[in-house]
């Protein structure tokens, strides 16, 4: 019976400290929130109604307005529309 496990996937791979993932996760989340702030707004719109949901939605809108004014959100929307028109 062949052995099971991710040993074959891990063979030849170098493990790291778990903490190496912290900057990866932090930078990834930051980039997503900065460029795709519209996604954050859409996410808050689907939250269950309530005070927390409203507060998060307001905050997401303020953040999205700021990112649109600063440029990254606008840049991402342009990119999305350009690619979308080409493919869909």
31 touches 39 (CB < 8 A): no
Applying CB under 8 A, does 21 fall inside the site for other proteins? Answer: yes
Closer Cβ to other proteins, 31 or 62, answer by number: 31
78 touches 72 (CB < 8 A): no
Applying CB under 8 A, does 19 fall inside the site for other proteins? Answer: yes
Contacts 24+ apart (CB under 8 A), 70-76: 72/34, 72/35, 72/37, 73/34, 73/35, 73/36, 73/37, 73/38, 75/35, 76/35, 76/36, 76/38
Residues numbered 36-55 forming contacts with other proteins, rule: CB under 8 A: 36, 39-40, 42-43
Applying CB under 8 A, does 85 fall inside the site for other proteins? Answer: no
Applying CB under 8 A, does 70 fall inside the site for other proteins? Answer: no
**Site residues (CB under 8 A) for other proteins?**
1-2, 4-32, 35-36, 39-40, 42-43, 76, 79-80, 83-84, 87-88
């Amino acid at each position: 019976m062949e052995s099971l496990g991710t040993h074959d996937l891990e063979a030849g791979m170098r493990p790291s400290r778990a903490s190496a993932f912290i900057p990866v996760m932090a930078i990834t989340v930051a980039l997503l929130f900065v460029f795709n702030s519209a996604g954050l707004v859409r996410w808050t719109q689907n939250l269950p109604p309530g005070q927390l949901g409203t507060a998060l939605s307001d905050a997401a809108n303020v953040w999205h307005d700021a990112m649109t004014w600063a440029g990254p959100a606008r840049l991402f929307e342009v990119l999305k529309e350009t690619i979308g028109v080409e493919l869909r």
